[in-house]
Structure 1
């Protein structure tokens, strides 16, 4: 009689000051065969909370950029199947069941995209550009890696077939205005350095044109206006990230002259 061996899954998380989310996330991923958290020296209670879980391996590693941190985490995993999840994401029972079924299927793809439901202060955001948000979260380590060309909004390179899971992740990205604004600012700074690293120099004119376009596109074309005040806030802050990018690019270029 042939016995099919159940596939092992390594769950990877990168953290910095995630005390609000990390406990609930670790509780969510109790199905994992290995849990590795790579922390970039948090200054809040994140490490204390992580260390309260005996089944979690904690590694402290200096943060350079998001891609480097993810690839470092990948190197630590002992299993081929990887579930890479952010601290502000949650896995539903339906998604757990689907992940289990997929990794133990004979017809598995090399990587799976997962749709995300964006939560705005614990309430679902329906539009504002987030209605089609999906990201690679489940994949085979031997077939995938994160492209070093990006410092933020990481791109997974997949050597093999891809597919999409039916169940969604819950994404608690927006808890308050100031935290989300800081996140968008930091993304903008990383994106500026990424663009300059590729010698992608943009004109000063785009400092105002591109953020305006981003806001109008997400608010009108992507139906942000249907989200009311929430839509205005999200569309503005996403445009603010683009503004921060060009402002930083212009600052760096000016300092070199």
Structure 2
């Protein structure tokens, strides 16, 4: 009688100053066969918290961009099945069960998209462009890799079938205005580097109009106004990130002349 070998799962987490969430997340990963944290030399209590978990492997690696860091993490994973999760994300018991059942399915897909519920502090953000937010989190690393064309909002190159998990991740991305603004600034600067690599030139018109378009699209078309004050804040900060993208692109381009 043939038995199907149980598939093992590696959970990979990229961190930088995540002391607020990392302990809660690591406690919740009891279903994982391997947990690896790739830390970008945090200067808060993140590494101390991670090191207090004997079942977690901590590796520090200088951050260049998200794609490079994720591919570095993949190289360190012992198992083929990968669950990438951010420190500010939380898995429900239903999602954990679904992940285990999925990777042990006789005919799994190569990669799975997961929908996310965006939490604004402790309140669910229902609109503002986040109502359809989904991301690749679970995949077979033998059939997937992150391409180098994107430095932020990484692109996963997949050989084979793509499917979607039924249960959602809970995303506690917004804790306060200053932290989220710093995050959006960081994303904008990485997008600028990405555009520079592709040969894009800075444009004053785009620096002016693209952030305005982003705000209006998310606030009106994507129903951000239904999130009231929270919607205004999120739509503004996303537009701010776009502004930083063009401002930084201009700075990079000028420095190379």
Matches within 5 A, 1:22-171: 22-171=22-171
The structural deviation recorded for 1:256 is 3.4
CA deviations 1:157-178 (Å, max 9, x no partner) are: 1111000000000000000000
TM-score by length of 1: 0.98
CA deviations 1:153-207 (Å, max 9, x no partner) are: 1111111100000000000000000000000001000100110111022421111
Give the aligned partner of residue 5 of structure 2.
Answer: 5
Counterpart-to-counterpart distance in 2, 1:252 and 1:96: 43
Matches within 5 A, 1:177-216: 177-216=177-216
Question: Is the 2:22–2:50 contact (alpha carbons within 8 Å) kept by the matching residues of 1?
Answer: yes
The structural deviation recorded for 1:122 is 1.2
The structural deviation recorded for 1:107 is 1.9
The structural deviation recorded for 1:129 is 0.2
Counterpart-to-counterpart distance in 1, 2:210 and 2:183: 19
The structural deviation recorded for 1:92 is 0.4
Counterpart-to-counterpart distance in 2, 1:120 and 1:30: 27
The structural deviation recorded for 1:113 is 0.1
TM-score by length of 2: 0.98
Whether 1:246 and 2:246 are equivalent positions in the alignment is: yes
The number of aligned residues is 257
Counterpart-to-counterpart distance in 1, 2:104 and 2:252: 49
CA deviations 1:6-56 (Å, max 9, x no partner) are: 110000001011000101111111100000111111100000000110000
The structural deviation recorded for 1:4 is 1.6
Counterpart-to-counterpart distance in 2, 1:253 and 1:23: 41
CA deviations 1:206-256 (Å, max 9, x no partner) are: 111000000000000000000000000000000000000001111222333
CA-based RMSD? 0.8
Question: Is the 2:14–2:86 contact (alpha carbons within 8 Å) kept by the matching residues of 1?
Answer: yes
Unaligned runs of 5+ in 2: none
Match of 1:205, SS state, is: helix
Question: Is the 2:202–2:253 contact (alpha carbons within 8 Å) kept by the matching residues of 1?
Answer: no
Match of 1:219, SS state, is: helix
Counterpart-to-counterpart distance in 2, 1:122 and 1:145: 34
Match of 2:142, SS state, is: helix
Question: Is the 2:36–2:59 contact (alpha carbons within 8 Å) kept by the matching residues of 1?
Answer: yes
Counterpart-to-counterpart distance in 2, 1:26 and 1:248: 35
Counterpart-to-counterpart distance in 2, 1:57 and 1:144: 23
